[in-house]
Amino acid sequence: MQAALQIASIVISIILIVLIMLQVKGGALSGLLGGEVGGGIARTRRGLEKTLFQITIGLSIAFLAISILSVVVYRPG
């Protein structure tokens, strides 16, 4: 059980990294580090961008749940 939780955690974390990198505005390293050129104007997510955002939220919640579950399952003693 512990091995399955660890594998699931690794897979979800890799997918999260890829999804977050796909959502980076600006496309350059400065956009990744917060150096946004547009002045930080908020805009509405639509289409694929909205879907990627929702999948990212879902996977983040799943990652948190798996992390908590793995701590509960692995209690020594």
Q: What pLDDT, in 10s, does the model give residues 36-71?
A: 555 556 667 788 888 999 999 999 999 999 999 999
Tell me the mean pLDDT in the region 4-13: 95
| Residue 32 scores a pLDDT above 60 | no
pLDDT on residue 74? 81
pTM of the model: 0.71
The DSSP secondary structure of 3-69, one letter per residue, reads HHHHHHHHHHHHHHHHHHHHT-SSSSHHHHTT--TT-S------THHHHHHHHHHHHHHHHHHHHHH
Quote the domain boundaries for residue 48. 2-73
Domains contained in the chain, number: 1
- Comparing C-alpha atoms, which of 57, 73, 59 is closest to residue 5? 73
- Rounded Cα gap, residues 31 and 48, in angstroms: 19
